[in-house]
Structure 1
Amino acid sequence: MLANRHLRYLERHPLEIALALLLAALYGPLLLHWIDGWVNKSISIQHEYFSHGLIGLPFAAYIAWEKRQQWQQLVPQINPVGLGLIGIATVFYLSGLGDWMNVSLPLMLTGICLVLKGTAGLRLEAFPLLLVALATPSQAPYLIEPYILPLQRFIAGAAGFLLIQFGIDVDVNQIYLLVNNQPVEVAPHCAGLKMLFTSLYVGLMLLYWTGVWRSRLQTGLFLSATIALSVVGNIVRNTLLSFFHGTGQNGAFDWLHESWGGDLYSAIMLFLLIVLIRGVQRYIPSTLALQIDHDSAV
């Protein structure tokens, strides 16, 4: 019975199955390379910024699978833009250049949606495609880093202020802290950009999962609070790192900076996002209704 059901499914959707197998053969090794780099931290620093793909890519696949019946009900329609995107993705993939091959994945998936189901298919799969695009390793962090100097200065100043409150000898100069005559730099990679990317990415997933995205007010407040939480969390982390380094606690510094202490910090931050969105759902109305008392109007 089960075998017959699978056979009927194969007969009904041969094109989709063939495309899925082709994509698995083409991009399976690339995805395994990403996953290995994210898990073992053997990928470039810029590409580590996209390690949120470990949870985002499976979630995107789950959403696409949940929408399979809606997808099948759409009328087949070829959009010429999709053919162009597939052509560009093919050129990028065959180039052999790492970044171009990476970008070819979201381009290919978007092109396939447009070719098979037109703009209706693109609208249906817009969110999982967005998750794939935002999890695709690129040089975007490298391009953004030169513009986050004000954030580095702010974090250094805040960390220095907190350490002074605990009686630590600190001198702050731009993005540098001198803690007990031990220099500490709030470098671009230490300014919390990776955690900010991860927090916003997971925040988008939570917005979709909870349905909060339907309210502009709740969405705006949640994303603003997510950014603030990420910055505050990174100030605390840099304060601890500066304290550990300045007081010669190298083991604690390495634990929080490069070992599983950093993973624990990330897990706590993501857990707080769940608490945050539950608070938004409970205490923030979906819309603000202004009531006017016409009797008191002059």
Structure 2
Amino acid sequence: MTGLRATVQISTEQMPLGPAGVLVRTALQHPDALILLVSACTACPPDLNALMEAHQKARAAMTVVLNPKSNAPSPATEAADLYLMEPTVLEQIPRTGYCDIKETLIPALLRAGKTVKACRLTQPAGNFRNRAGYLQAIADFLETQPPPAGRWIDPAAAIDPAARLHGPVLVMAGAAVAAGAVITGPCILEADTQVGPCSLLTGSVLWPAARIGADCQVRDCIMEHGAELADGTIREAQMIKSKPDNWMSRITADVNKKVNRIFPRPPHRPAGEPGVCGAGAPAGKAIKPIWLGLALLAFAWSYWPTLTDLWKIWMQSDEYSCGLLVPFMALYIAWSRREQLARGPLRPSLWGLAAFLAAQGLRCFGLFFMYGSAERLSLVASIAALVWFLFGGSVFRKAIPIFVFLGLMLPLPKSLEAAITLPLQSMATASAGFCLEMLGYDIRIEGNIIHLGQTTVAVAEACNGLRMVTSFFVISGLVILLVNRAWWEKAILLLSVLPIALLCNTIRLALTAIAFTILTGETWEQLFHDFGGYAMMPLALALVIFELWILRKIFVVPVEETRQEILIPSGKQARP
């Protein structure tokens, strides 16, 4: 852009004004100058001298700049959000109200007899609307164009010989990459950025003064100016913002320093030596299996009375018999997610010790005031706290859904169970009676007794549906944690657990009442009663599978474009 003199002014588009409305507010300060409107979301701006020559040659009041034609199905990729305008265009923009360029200004120019021309670029301008679009534009620029100034790494950058850089990686002056770090392009490290030892950086852009600690994993991220990541941090597909310096951040940093002093990291070794830390390798002291086994034995001994109490409840109560399977299901879920759980630093955390002390406080409260439910709840809370303490916050956060699922093995508190038993029993009686009436039967309901012709069916307390609800929550929780669906689909499935369980219980009661009018003998009645209860679980599971199928058919997620052709002429530098 040699010989080009311009006054640059940055304006924020406001919805009450629109882009043209904002333009007239700023351009009136220079009423005789040629106007060049460029979107801030442009990663690879074209040669402005060539654009101005094309505009003057066309003798147009406005030149609309377009990206090259491509096979992309979205027409939004064609507009370059770049316009050249003569000062006379401002006469067609109202001084008040909303005014858009495409929908309002261009039609007004055509009605006024003005000329509007289109100029198509030979290389896309790299327009983006979000983080993913920005990274894609930067990636295409790095992969298709020669490096600025003819080199990828600035001589003033400090790259340790033990660091590894693969693919197009642009490293600017003042950037530093420590030993053992692995950077896989396309990446940009701007001025004064730092990548710590044994960290992995993939497909990301680090703005000036951004810093990554040791043993970190950063994928498809943008780090703001001055943003910092602590040692062992994992970030993926995020906009990492710089944190303000407040009292909370200072306290957190102080606690992290104390934890690092108590559990020091092993020294970083050069690449190739035994025990070198690779990207994604566990950080901190490894927990020996013998100590882990001793901790489990001590925990089991401490909670042995609570465990035996739970065993008795599972064996004696039909409502909570499914709780016996929950620990094994939780272990299976953890095993199926083992790679995800292990993808991060495994190092002790003092926050977990504080949480364990809080769980023991809850246990003491239950012991002192004789609340068995509080003791049992402290069991799950202690397991979660021990995982946090032994393996760190990264594993704990990923395992939170498993801990919540583990809570399904606990029976409801007696007060809560007593509060919902009678309403559930009355609801079951009323719903079964309604179902029988819909089938054409003449019934009469007295309390929790259904009179069906000459047959009398009593809806006992055990038939209130609580057993169906607890069992179905366990099955649905297992399905939700194992299926690979979007979070909102899982939320819909979770909200439908209670209605489906009550519906299945209603069907069971209605079919049992009809069977009692046909079958005679207590043996046959008891057999059908028990078989009907077992048969409802496959029905409930089938309804869950049907619901997942319906959700997949109703909601179709559009397939994103995997790649856009975003190129610029040779020798032009992107502005990240």
Give the alignment of 1:261-280 within 5 angstroms.
Answer: 261-280=532-551
Number of the residue aligned with 2:512: 241
RMSD of aligned residue pairs (Cα, Å): 3.8
* Structure 1 residue 228 corresponds to structure 2 residue 502: no
* Structure 1 residue 135 corresponds to structure 2 residue 400: no
| Residue pair 1:56, 1:135 contacting (<8 A) in 2 also | no
Number of the residue aligned with 1:172: 445
1:207 to 1:166, Cα distance in 2 relative to 1, 3 A: closer
Number of the residue aligned with 2:349: 77
Q: By how many angstroms is 1:132 displaced?
A: 1.1
1:47 to 1:150, Cα distance in 2 relative to 1, 3 A: closer
The 1-side partners of 2:440 and 2:363 are apart by 60
The 1-side partners of 2:355 and 2:534 are apart by 40
Give the alignment of 1:193-208 within 5 angstroms.
Answer: 193-208=466-481
Among 537, 547, 554, the alignment partner of 1:283 is 554
1:183 to 1:50, Cα distance in 2 relative to 1, 3 A: farther
Which consecutive unaligned segments of at least 5 residues does structure 1 have?
Answer: 1-10, 288-298
The 2-side partners of 1:28 and 1:263 are apart by 32
* Structure 1 residue 106 corresponds to structure 2 residue 380: yes
In structure 1, what residue type is equivalent to 2:409? A
The 2-side partners of 1:185 and 1:111 are apart by 46
In structure 2, what residue type is equivalent to 1:274? I
Q: By how many angstroms is 1:210 displaced?
A: 1.6
How big is each residue's C-alpha offset from its partner over 1:123-182, in whole Å with a ceiling of 9 and x where there is no partner?
A: 122011111112223436x61453465554443233224334555442123433112344
1:59 to 1:30, Cα distance in 2 relative to 1, 3 A: farther
> TM-score, length-normalised on structure 1?
0.70
1:22 to 1:76, Cα distance in 2 relative to 1, 3 A: same
| Residue pair 2:333, 2:482 contacting (<8 A) in 1 also | no
The structure whose Rg is larger is: 2
Give the alignment of 1:1-298 within 5 angstroms.
Answer: 12-14=286-288, 15-23=291-299, 38=314, 42-45=315-318, 47-48=320-321, 50=323, 53=326, 56-63=329-336, 65-67=338-340, 69-70=342-343, 73-79=345-351, 81-88=354-361, 91=364, 99=373, 101-117=375-391, 119-139=393-413, 143-147=416-420, 149=422, 151-164=424-437, 168-212=441-485, 214-216=486-488, 218-247=489-518, 249=520, 250-258=522-530, 260-285=531-556
Aligned length: 269
> TM-score, length-normalised on structure 2?
0.40
Stretch moving more, 268-277 or 88-97: 88-97
Which consecutive unaligned segments of at least 5 residues does structure 2 have?
Answer: 1-284, 559-576
Q: By how many angstroms is 1:230 displaced?
A: 2.0
Larger relative helix fraction: 1
Q: By how many angstroms is 1:219 displaced?
A: 3.0
1:215 to 1:58, Cα distance in 2 relative to 1, 3 A: closer
1:168 to 1:160, Cα distance in 2 relative to 1, 3 A: same
1:24 to 1:277, Cα distance in 2 relative to 1, 3 A: farther
Q: By how many angstroms is 1:204 displaced?
A: 2.6
Percent identity between the aligned chains? 18
The 2-side partners of 1:100 and 1:45 are apart by 22
| Residue pair 1:159, 1:235 contacting (<8 A) in 2 also | yes
| Residue pair 1:85, 1:111 contacting (<8 A) in 2 also | no
The 2-side partners of 1:182 and 1:192 are apart by 22
Q: Secondary structure at the match of 1:137?
A: coil
In structure 2, what residue type is equivalent to 1:200? F
Q: By how many angstroms is 1:78 displaced?
A: 0.4
How big is each residue's C-alpha offset from its partner over 1:232-273, in whole Å with a ceiling of 9 and x where there is no partner?
A: 211110112222345553334312433x44223223322432
Q: By how many angstroms is 1:106 displaced?
A: 0.3
Q: By how many angstroms is 1:83 displaced?
A: 3.6
The 2-side partners of 1:176 and 1:53 are apart by 34
| Residue pair 2:349, 2:391 contacting (<8 A) in 1 also | yes
The 2-side partners of 1:83 and 1:55 are apart by 23
In structure 2, what residue type is equivalent to 1:208? L
Larger relative strand fraction: 2
Structure with larger RCO (C-alpha < 8 A, sep 6+):
1
The 1-side partners of 2:519 and 2:405 are apart by 42
| Residue pair 2:286, 2:346 contacting (<8 A) in 1 also | no
Q: Secondary structure at the match of 1:125?
A: helix
How big is each residue's C-alpha offset from its partner over 1:26-69, in whole Å with a ceiling of 9 and x where there is no partner?
A: 5689668756864xxx3235533635626633434435645552
Q: Secondary structure at the match of 2:343?
A: helix
The 1-side partners of 2:537 and 2:328 are apart by 13
Number of the residue aligned with 1:7: none
How big is each residue's C-alpha offset from its partner over 1:156-213, in whole Å with a ceiling of 9 and x where there is no partner?
A: 233224334555442123433112344433344312222123223322322221232x
| Residue pair 1:176, 1:186 contacting (<8 A) in 2 also | yes
